[in-house]
Structure 1
Amino acid sequence: MVRMSSVLRRSSTVGAFLVTVSLLLGCGGSSGNASSAPPQSQAATPAISPAAEQGGAVVVTLSTTTGGGTVYYTTDGSTPTSSSTVYEAPFLVASNLTVKAITAGSGLNVSNVASQSFSPNIASGTLVWSEDFNNAGSTNTEPNPAIWTYDTGNNGWGNNELEDYCGWGSTTSPCNPASPNAYVGTDGALHIVAEQPATGVYTSARLKTQGLFSFQYGRIEARIQVPEEQGLWPAFWMLGNNIATINWPGSGEMDIMERVNAATTPDFNEGSIHGTGFTGTNLGARFSFPAGETAAGWHTYGMIWKPGSVSYYVDDPSQPYVTYTTSSITSLSGSVWPFDAGPSFVILNLAVGGDYPGAPNSSTAFPAQLVVDYIHIYTN
């Protein structure tokens, strides 16, 4: 009995000691790892995936397996950071450069840097991308969904426009899938059709390559035939990919072809640029067609885009009718040149009404069509 009592007392003492130590550890009394935050995981290194294009060029796609991760990249060989260009869409590479990319994600360490160099050594003036709107069939077809998507709806688009923009196959009233507002015809051309299904009701289409294809620098041109009717506003233009993150006008806007209303003498095309500090008519110029020509005929509308400059031409790339440079905006308060920040995407549309052309009237003939034979991109 005495021996057992002694053992019990010792067990009780040891137990009390262990409880005390346990409480101290649980309350942070230890200087070990119990109170340290677990190490952060690292975002996945992005993949750089080139796909062959014409003339030795490639279209580069960047991707990451990190859910909700953002990919940042550079093309000048520098190491990307969270202040670098945000990847928004596949982009054309037609010059010698190095793409470097990282992934950043909430609560994650930034990924390792992915890097790939390209040396296509492409000669000046080489065709490196084209959309020829080919259609070998016997019926009209959908514009290539790998290249084109749509803006849709009737929100006025910041210009008090009157049309409902309809996507392919849309059944949302007043859109009519049996009479699409954009199609590739059996003539091998894109047709954008403005219709008036009821008095005061208009439908049309606005196609864009946003999220699917973009490029920076080079010469882009499209062979186009425009309608010339009161209240119509056809356009061929570009917006910066970064519109998704910094909005307009910070994204920049390059208007290669704009034409409003009925034919004039001389007839004209308008080319302009817009950005922070120059959102209105500050930087726009008109090209006057030679005697005997109108915008209603087939013409090639183009832009020559280089670092620090944007030039527009009609029919002859050797004769730009206007060139804008970084010095063009120096006198404009608060202006920022946005066109060297990254790639842009292509837009084609036929607006009805709006602040610029005004509304259609009884002389306006519907349906009216903007017809595009091709879009080509060449190296500078």
Structure 2
Amino acid sequence: MSFRPALRRTRAAAVAVVLGSALTTAALNTQATAAPDVSIAATTFADEFNGPAGSPVDSSKWTLEQGDNVNNHERQYYTNRTSNAAMDGQGNLVITARRENPGNYNCWYGRCEYTSARMNTAGKFSQTYGRFETRLKMSHGQGMWPAFWMMGTTGGGWPNNGEIDVMENVGFEPNTVHGTIHGPGYSGSGGIGAAYNGPRFADGFHTFTLDWSPDSLVWSVDGNVYQRRTPADLGGRQWVFNNRPFYLILNLAVGGYWPGDPDSSTPMPNTLVVDYVRVSNTSGGGAITGLAGKCVDVAGANPANGTAVQLYDCNGTGAQQWSRSGNALQALGKCLDAAGGGTANGTVVQLYDCNGTGAQQWAISSANDIVNIQANKCLDVTGNNPANGTRLQIWDCTGAANQKWTVSAA
């Protein structure tokens, strides 16, 4: 959110997220039996929100803030009640904004008109660099302002400590989300960011990801990279996003300078439904090397759907940096995919939007095979040809050198 240091009453800050999970074990009928000790990225924080319906937020991971927020002129009072933040029993957290004031709460403008929830991991989890991700279904309506964001734990007060907004949406832009950074000399409305225009985000679940590494911040939505920021973007101002842990914040605000106030068209109660928040300890991932010491590579570093995945000289670019989320292998914000969901020998592999289908489910074995679980076939260098540009495919697992891969951590 563009400017939100402490709440006026109870200070608690930041939540936010993200992703990057370790590959799960899979039982395969070939010699390639999945091995959990082979890893690209380790999950350092995850909340899958799998509690029973009506159960509260996990207090070992999150603090629920209480109070109003005069800084942004928001209208809600944040509470720690399950009526504002609770599990739905279907694997989701539901943050609910309500037009009510059951506790006779007082806000900056007088008697509060709304309640909602804001939760953070301050003092419980923070991390420097990595992949931060959430999957959620947006709130909607005039005056609604959901956000998934991060605050620095050192460096002094805001904005010197730094703020990274992984995802913000304002209700009058139902098809747009924003990613922004704030620091000394570029805070509040002067934050540096970009917008991503997509579908109406309240109509379904979408995944919002930040990949953070030294001198680099990369935002994506559903695997589509839409913004990269480096110190070069600051015009000589201070980059405060290196060597500093950040904690997470997740909230649903009502009203404020940016979204404006709700009106008669705004649905109440209004919900933000969160499937998960995940964080891994590497953003770009690591190289996967194979035949002749060459790397699994996205041709031309092109993130378009259908781009060939090939063998190429290792060069350390993002086209060769693979990370893992569940059983998916990802590069450039998209997934390694067996074309058309094919399971036959010779089905080529490509880059494609992550969709959770069997075409994108892979196991890495202790024998250094990478196996498409659905097809029960191995990632294979076509024709055992070590030349740059040789297409990769799936094929019956044979144990040959053109099916052996070494996964290295970044």
Q: Same fold (TM over 0.5)?
A: yes
TM-score w.r.t. the length of structure 1 is: 0.59
- Distance in 2 (CA, whole Å) between partners of 1:282 and 1:215 is 22
1:232 aligned partner: 144
Pairing partner for 2:129 from 202, 211, 217? 217
Contact 1:225 1:299 in 2 (8 A): yes
Note the C-alpha offset of 1:327. Answer: 1.1
Give the counterpart letter for 2:79 in structure 1.
Answer: C
Give the counterpart letter for 1:345 in structure 2.
Answer: Y
1:75 aligned partner: none
- Distance in 2 (CA, whole Å) between partners of 1:126 and 1:377 is 9
Note the C-alpha offset of 1:126. Answer: 4.4
1:360 aligned partner: 262
2:208 is equivalent to residue 298 of structure 1 = no
Pairing partner for 2:85 from 176, 179, 182? 182
2:40 is equivalent to residue 134 of structure 1 = no
Query: SS of 1:320's equivalent?
Result: strand
1:278 aligned partner: 186
- Distance in 1 (CA, whole Å) between partners of 2:80 and 2:185 is 33
Aligned residues: 236
Pairing partner for 2:62 from 143, 148, 152? 148
Note the C-alpha offset of 1:130. Answer: 1.5
2:168 aligned partner: 258
Contact 1:263 1:295 in 2 (8 A): no
Question: Aligned in 2, Cα 1:315/1:194: closer, same or farther, shift over 3 Å?
Answer: same
Give the counterpart letter for 2:77 in structure 1.
Answer: D
Contact 1:227 1:368 in 2 (8 A): yes
- Distance in 1 (CA, whole Å) between partners of 2:206 and 2:182 is 24
Deviations 1:289-328 (A, max 9, x none): 1xxx211121000100001111110010xx4200110111
1:269 aligned partner: 177
Deviations 1:169-190 (A, max 9, x none): xxxxxxxxxx621112211211
Query: SS of 1:255's equivalent?
Result: strand
Contact 2:76 2:112 in 1 (8 A): no
Q: Percent identity?
A: 37
Contact 2:134 2:208 in 1 (8 A): yes
Q: What is the alpha-carbon root mean square deviation over aligned residues?
A: 2.0
Note the C-alpha offset of 1:375. Answer: 1.1
- Bigger Rg over Cα: 1
Note the C-alpha offset of 1:123. Answer: 4.3
After the TM superposition, which segments of 4 or more aligned residues of structure 1 sit over 4 Å from their partners? none
Give the counterpart letter for 2:88 in structure 1.
Answer: G
- Distance in 2 (CA, whole Å) between partners of 1:347 and 1:122 is 31
Deviations 1:172-216 (A, max 9, x none): xxxxxxx62111221121111100016971000100000111111
Note the C-alpha offset of 1:282. Answer: 4.1
Give the counterpart letter for 2:68 in structure 1.
Answer: N
1:193 aligned partner: 96
Deviations 1:219-261 (A, max 9, x none): 1110011111000000000001127xx1100110000110001
Please list, as runs of the form range in 1=range in 2, the aligned pairs for 1:92-171 lying within 5 A after superposition.
123-135=39-51, 137=52, 139-156=53-70, 158-168=71-81
Higher relative contact order (CA 8 A, sep 6+): 2
Give the counterpart letter for 2:200 in structure 1.
Answer: T
Unpaired runs of at least 5, structure 1: 1-93, 95-120, 169-178
Contact 2:128 2:243 in 1 (8 A): no
